[in-house]
Amino acid sequence: MDLSEYLASAARSIDVMIDRYFVDTTGELNKASAHLLAAGGKRLRPAVVMLAADAVNPGSSSEIMPAALALELTHTFTLIHDDIMDDDSLRRGVPTVHTVWDMPTGILAGDVLYAKAFEFLIRSKATDEAKIRATSMLAVACAELCQGQHMDMSFEKRDDVDEGEYLEMVRKKTGVLYAAAAGIGGILAGGNARQVKALYDYGLNTGMAFQIQDDVIDLITPPEKSGKDRASDLREGKQTLIWIKAKEKGIDLSPYKRDLTDAEIDAVIKKLEDAGVIEDVKGIANRLVATSAKHLALLPPTKERELLREIGEFFVTRSF
């Protein structure tokens, strides 16, 4: 099974659980909570949980599927809240939760998924000790996610954010959840401390690379393909790595912090490409993925380990 087939299979498994536990529920809050879940998604974090488990204990992923779902719930809760903070109107090709309902309902819908994530995490078939360690890892990740999001928002009020600060923000905002996905899979499958750390570090680096590529996608991918508002980061003045690298090359993106036409966005993209900004940004993401592959080398040589490595490569080559 190649990576695309595996990811499709993993997504179907998660979709079945989402349909079972979240879709067609009664009550407006439950419907709001299920809105983005039912809209689809690549289900990449659950796939990482499953592969990490099988990489240390072949066949164990079937025992910890609730934990895989838990990571998708956690991710979706952050999306709902991010959309509120960014006032985005489109996510996964559908209207965002707070635009369909209202802001208070959106906040509560995210809170429901946050709580449900821990409920499902401990439904996995594993030792109590493993469940405690996994719960602690997810709780720490959620706290860091909030810190990362706050850093991201605070950057909008500054014009002096440097690369180091940006990478620390990305580590917390995106890296730690992929790190937790891989680490939790290893923990619940009975992996030893060395294996779990290797998986955690793999997830941290690939997650950071994922976010950097996401920032590129936000700018260059049309909304009909990405399912998101195009160039929303640019319009909001977010201090992404693209913004930082552009500034280093003498390109000021602050005049674009406004509503933009497609022609204006195309012109910005060309300017950044001509200056080598996009190439520099992608180079940093590629180096992070190369580092993640070194961590995987500490695991037994299995098909699952190879698929984890391929996921890292996919993260920096995808266009949506």
pLDDT in tens, the chain (320 residues): 799 999 999 999 999 999 999 987 888 999 999 999 999 889 999 999 999 999 999 999 999 999 999 999 999 999 999 999 988 888 888 999 999 999 999 999 999 999 999 999 999 999 999 999 999 999 999 999 999 999 988 888 888 899 999 999 999 999 999 999 999 999 999 999 999 999 999 999 999 999 999 899 989 887 777 666 788 888 888 889 999 999 999 999 989 888 888 899 999 999 999 999 999 999 999 999 999 999 999 999 999 999 999 999 999 998 77
Give the closest residue to 67 by CA, choosing from 223, 231, 197, 182.
182
Domains of the chain (ranges plus CATH)?
3-315 (1.10.600.10)
Q: Give the number of other Cβ atoms within 10 Å of residue 162's Cβ.
A: 11
Q: What is the pTM of this model?
A: 0.91
Hey, what are 284's tokens?
Answer: 């940093």
φ, ψ for residue 95 (rounded to 5)?
-60, 145
DSSP H stretches of helix in 87-192: 97-100, 103-121, 128-155, 163-170, 176-188
Cα–Cα dist 10/46, whole Å = 7
